[in-house]
């Protein structure tokens, strides 16, 4: 059986190093008991440790399942159009939030970290859906 010599590219080594740094930073924050509850975790340190391990898992999976992709002008065009639609959705969301906050007698009481995470998640969904729809038309 022939042994494969698969070297890890320097970019992936840097990504692994950053993930390990995030894990060590999380362990340090937990050890020093620096923070409070954060995004459903007991502390920022626990969250950073979790994110670091997820980063390592994603990097490893990307190494196993890499494909050569051909990016042509059409895909760049569709991606740019999808980015434009996502930006317009951001402006529309901001306008609607301002209007709803003005109509409501009390201010919006959603915590800032939850608001931003929902907004970013919503924008990613808008981009993904608009990209897939535009890919069919162009």
**Rounded distance between C-alpha atoms, residue 8 and residue 19, angstroms:** 15
- Which residues form the domain of 59? 10-64
115: pLDDT confidence band, cut at 50, 70 and 90?
confident
pLDDT digits (tens, 9 = 90+) for 54-103: 999 999 988 888 777 778 898 899 999 999 999 999 999 889 888 877 77
Span between the terminal Cα atoms of the chain, in Å: 46
**Rounded distance between C-alpha atoms, residue 23 and residue 126, angstroms:** 31
Same domain, 45 and 99: no
Residue listed under structure tokens 């890890």: 8
Q: Is residue 128 assigned to a domain?
A: yes
Domain count for the chain:
2
Q: Residue 2 phi/psi, 5° resolution?
A: -85, 135
Cβ atoms of 110 and 54 within 8 Å: the answer is no
- pLDDT of residue 29 exceeding 90, the answer is no
Same domain, 99 and 122: yes
| Tokens read off for 13 | 């080594």
Mean pLDDT of 2-22: 80
């Amino acid at each position: 059986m022939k042994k494969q010599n698969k070297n890890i590219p320097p970019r992936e080594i840097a990504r692994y190093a950053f993930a390990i740094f995030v894990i060590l930073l999380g362990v340090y924050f937990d050890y020093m008991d620096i923070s409070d509850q954060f995004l459903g975790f007991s502390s920022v340190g626990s969250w950073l440790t979790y994110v670091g391990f997820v980063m390592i898992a994603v990097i490893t999976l990307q190494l196993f399942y890499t494909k050569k992709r051909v990016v042509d002008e059409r895909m760049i065009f569709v991606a740019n159009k999808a980015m434009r639609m996502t930006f317009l959705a951001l402006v529309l969301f901001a306008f609607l939030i301002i209007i709803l906050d003005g109509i409501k007698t009390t201010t919006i009481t959603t915590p800032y970290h939850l608001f931003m995470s929902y907004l970013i998640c919503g924008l990613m969904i808008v981009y993904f859906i608009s990209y897939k729809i535009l890919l069919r038309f162009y």
